[in-house]
Amino acid sequence: MPVKKEKKTRSFQLVKGMKDILPDDQKYWQYISQLAETLAVKYGFSRIDIPLVEDTQLFTRSVGQATDIVEKEMYSFIDKGGENISLRPEFTAGIARAYIEHGMINLPQPVKLYSIGPCFRYDKPQSGRYRQFHQLNFETIGDADPVTDAQIILIAYKINEMLNLPVIMQVNSVGCPQCRPDYELVLKDYFKKYRNKLSEVSQKRLLKNPLRILDSKEDLDQTIIEGAPQQVDHLCEECKNHFIKVLEYLDELEVPYALNPTIVRGLDYYTRTTFEVTTVEDAENGDKSRQIALGGGGRYDKLYESLGGRETPVVGFAAGIERLIGQIKEKDLKVPALPQAEIFLAQLGTEARRKALVLFEELYRAGFKVTEAFSKSGIKPQLEMADRLGAKLCLIVGQKEIIDGTVMIRDMDGGIQEVVDYKKIVPELRKRLEKMAVVRVAIEDKTV
Ligand code: HAM
């Protein structure tokens, strides 16, 4: 085969399914992260950061062998030392590993942990679905009480409420190892009757993981799923009581929810409560092929034991940051702009540039947000830049100002210019900025 000559200067593109977060979008990221952090602190969660990579088996044993994530979507590879490792497809398993490894069972329970960061799934890229995406993840570890499930659902709801995104929590119970096997048999018998009418994916799931058919987005499956027996009618007494309590607490908290027997989740570790967050439009529209969850989670009381820890009841959820941002943009909701430079420092000529360099440091030390374009020389391009960057004031240092020991201050809104003594520049700037009531957007001021 002829060897294709590689061009000497090839250009590069994003790897499929990846996304740059450009400066213009940073305000959304900062807003959402700060909002999640504020919520986390108020509800008593501590931050945990875990590695991007873990032992592959941690995920196969927790997320489940017969799940899309493990079967098709893991970024797994053998490292140079021969270890089989994977990029994390989610946080839950890694947090379980960290809790067990660091003996957090010895801390007062529950241990409440939150994380923010990237996850990786080799998914089919499409709108709202990326191969690198970011989650806000909350876990309450070591508490079996249904009140914890309700509080986790409340926090998942609040993130959306604070962003002004109208959502409904889709809630279900998937039972426990006592009652689920019986339900799975009933479900399998039901789906077997429709085997030939089910979509190809669901036919495969019928053999490996019939519960997941309920999660199908295929049109072909929908009417069959509607008639399927429901787990809630096959719960054991304990699971039923647990579920009723969760719903009572949600009523008490006035969290909008809908009972949805198809919320079985794409991960195997759940027991009892499961939930997903959908927009009100998606919930009303009913077309499952179009629906994308903004978040999801539930209780999983058996995972820690299966990973070598002690029996530890846990409930948690994760929200997808890209999907939240997608909704904010689609609905044209406002988020605060990032703090901008208040002052632009312009200079005219070599001498002035030297002086401006020193003045910049003085202003920086005095705590001002200053920006500059020292490589530019004309006043016009510098003023244009000051305008584009949203500076409130522009300081101009030229030959004349150097001789006089002054600095010119230009009000960027009105264009009025005034000469000020160089030595008085710091108090003068403070006075002016205070007077202009520059709004430094403080997320803490937002009502949480
Ligand atoms: P999950 O439903 O797989 O749950 O993911 C949670 C959220 O992450 C989804 O609702 C979605 O917003 C976002 N997400 C998932 N995959 C993608 C993707 N390919 N592109 C963009 N966003 C995506 C979990 O990961 C569980 N660990 C949640 C949990 C925590 N359960 C208990 N604790």
Q: Is residue 68 in contact with ligand 1, taking CB distance under 6 Å?
A: no
Which atom of ligand 1 lies closest to the CA of 135? 8
**Residue 134 falls within a domain, yes or no?**
yes
Tell me the three state secondary structure of residue 279: strand
- Tokens 């010119």 identify what position? 408
Quote the ligand 1 centre to 344 CA distance (angstroms): 43
Which atom of ligand 1 lies closest to the CA of 89? 25
Instruction: Judge if 269 and 412 occupy the same domain.
Output: no
Residue 56 structure tokens: 């592959």
Instruction: Judge if 28 and 142 occupy the same domain.
Output: yes
- The CATH code of the domain that includes 405 is 3.40.50.800
Instruction: Judge if 314 and 396 occupy the same domain.
Output: no
Quote the ligand 1 centre to 404 CA distance (angstroms): 63
55-79 in b/e form (b: 16+ CB < 10 A) is: ebebbbbbbbeebbbbeebbbbeee
Which among 330, 365, 390 is the end of a domain? 330
**Residue 419 falls within a domain, yes or no?**
yes
Q: Is residue 294 in contact with ligand 1, taking CB distance under 6 Å?
A: yes
Count of all residues that appear for the chain in the document: 448
Greatest CA separation for the chain: 94
Beta bridge partners of 139: 113, 316
Q: Is residue 134 in contact with ligand 1, taking CB distance under 6 Å?
A: no
Instruction: Judge if 137 and 49 occupy the same domain.
Output: yes
Q: Omega before 256 cis (within 30°)?
A: no
Quote the ligand 1 centre to 16 CA distance (angstroms): 19
What is the number of structural domains in the chain? 2
DSSP one-letter code for 126: B
Non-local CB neighbours of 38 within 8 Å, separated by 6+ positions: 443, 444, 446, 448
Beta bridge partners of 67: none
**pLDDT for residue 5:** 64
**Residue 145 falls within a domain, yes or no?**
yes
Instruction: Judge if 266 and 321 occupy the same domain.
Output: yes
Tell me the three state secondary structure of residue 196: helix
Hey, how many other C-beta atoms are within 10 angstroms of the C-beta on 262?
A: 19
Task: Give rounded-to-5 percent helix, strand, coil for the chain.
Answer: 45, 20, 40
How do the pLDDT tens digits run along the chain, 448 residues long? Answer: 565 666 678 899 999 999 999 999 999 999 999 999 999 999 999 999 999 999 999 999 998 887 888 889 999 999 999 999 999 999 999 999 999 999 999 999 999 999 999 999 999 999 899 999 999 999 999 999 999 999 999 999 999 999 999 999 999 999 999 999 999 999 999 999 999 999 999 999 998 889 999 989 898 999 999 999 999 999 999 999 999 999 999 999 999 999 999 999 988 899 999 999 999 998 888 776 677 899 999 999 999 999 999 999 999 999 999 999 999 999 999 998 888 889 999 999 999 999 999 999 999 999 999 999 999 989 999 999 999 999 999 999 999 999 999 999 999 988 999 999 999 999 999 999 988 854 444 434 443 3
Residue nearest to atom 11 of ligand 1 (CA): 320
Residue nearest to atom 16 of ligand 1 (CA): 129
Q: Is residue 90 in contact with ligand 1, taking CB distance under 6 Å?
A: yes
Quote the ligand 1 centre to 189 CA distance (angstroms): 30
- The CATH code of the domain that includes 87 is 3.30.930.10
Quote the ligand 1 centre to 335 CA distance (angstroms): 23
**Containing domain of residue 428, as a range?**
343-447
Quote the ligand 1 centre to 324 CA distance (angstroms): 12
**pLDDT for residue 2:** 60
Sign of torsion, CA 245 156 274 306?
A: negative
**Residue 348 falls within a domain, yes or no?**
yes
Q: Is residue 368 in contact with ligand 1, taking CB distance under 6 Å?
A: no
β-strand 406-411 against 76-78: which pairing, if any?
unpaired
Hey, how many other C-beta atoms are within 10 angstroms of the C-beta on 146?
A: 22
**pLDDT for residue 448:** 39
> Cα–Cα distances in Å, from 7 out to 3, 11, 16, 432?
12, 9, 21, 57
Which among 266, 301, 330 is the end of a domain? 330
Q: Is residue 114 in contact with ligand 1, taking CB distance under 6 Å?
A: no
Beta bridge partners of 195: none
**pLDDT for residue 446:** 46
Q: Is residue 92 in contact with ligand 1, taking CB distance under 6 Å?
A: yes
Quote the ligand 1 centre to 10 CA distance (angstroms): 36
Using CA atoms, how far apart are residues 399 and 352, in angstroms rounded to an integer? 6
β-strand 132-141 against 53-55: which pairing, if any?
unpaired
**pLDDT for residue 441:** 42
Instruction: Judge if 309 and 409 occupy the same domain.
Output: no
- Tokens 């058919």 identify what position? 213
Instruction: Judge if 44 and 137 occupy the same domain.
Output: yes
Which among 295, 330, 365 is the end of a domain? 330
Q: What is the DSSP string of 310-369?
A: ----EEEEEEEHHHHHHHHHHTT---PPPP--SEEEEE-SHHHHHHHHHHHHHHHHTT--
